[in-house]
Amino acid sequence: MSSPAVTDYERRTTHSRNPLARFSHRARLKQAMLLIRRYLPEAGAMLDFGCAGGELLRQVRAGFPGARLYGLDPFSAPGDGYTHLRGIPECAGHSFDVITAFEVLEHLNASATEEFFALVSGYLGRDGVCIVSAPNMLGLALLPKLLHALVAGGSALNYGPGEALRAALLTQSPTRLPPNRAGTMRHKGYDWRQTRARIAADFEVISETFSPLPRLWWGFNSQWFCIFRSRRG
């Protein structure tokens, strides 16, 4: 059997020509799989919100052949090994043991963010968990991202020198950029701490960690992970 073709998303992340970006994204994927293995029952149901081409779900399928896997993404074509959903209404009738959203929330505007949390509230099973990750655009971890942007492009190029220094050294987030033409929010100005506060307002935070150097200060890490569930009354 031939190996699946490398997708455009993988070329920009786990197969990036930039060694730091490649290391960061591979560590992120490893951490994501570790958490999924911890919380997904062997025959459980999992929804990957913003599944892109199903890159993550392919790996989950290999480790959980009996699981019911779903990927929700209105902008991507269906992949193999999971049920593709194009919108939240298609979740009707389902209950998920695990809902994941990896490197997605930073791209959502305010209304889409609330739609995501409504999805979690409505479709996460009684003992289910939601696992999210988002980029850390603050602290010293921002500096290699800015250097990468000089080569590969991206919204990080829109930082002024003062904004970059305040974000990297003082963890002060600059004003967010407006969405791009597709309506997608960009990385500049995203602050994972605001997302964490939003989660804590309505859900029970089980744990959180950082990647790829979880033993060090969060400002040295490029991703933030949070595991949470519905409040138990």
Residue 27: the pLDDT is 87
The verdict on residue 80 lying in a domain is yes
pLDDT of 179 above 80: yes
The verdict on residue 211 lying in a domain is yes
The verdict on residue 121 lying in a domain is yes
pLDDT of 196 above 50: yes
* Contact between residue 194 and residue 172 where contact means Cβ atoms under 8 Å apart: no
Q: Is the pTM of this model over 0.75?
A: yes
The verdict on residue 109 lying in a domain is yes
What confidence category does residue 9 fall into, taking pLDDT thresholds of 50, 70 and 90?
Answer: low
101 — phi, psi (to 5°)? Answer: -150, 95
Q: What is the CATH number of the domain that holds 52?
A: 3.40.50.150
The verdict on residue 30 lying in a domain is yes
Q: What is the DSSP code string of 123-173?
A: HEEEEEEEEEEEE--SSTTHHHHHHHHHHH--GGGG--HHHHHHHHHH-PP
pLDDT of 2 above 90: no
Q: What share of the chain is helix, strand, coil (3-state, %, to 5)?
A: 40, 20, 40
Q: Which domain holds residue 21?
A: 8-137+190-230
The verdict on residue 1 lying in a domain is no
Residue 63: the pLDDT is 95
Domain count, the chain: 1
The verdict on residue 164 lying in a domain is no
The verdict on residue 146 lying in a domain is no
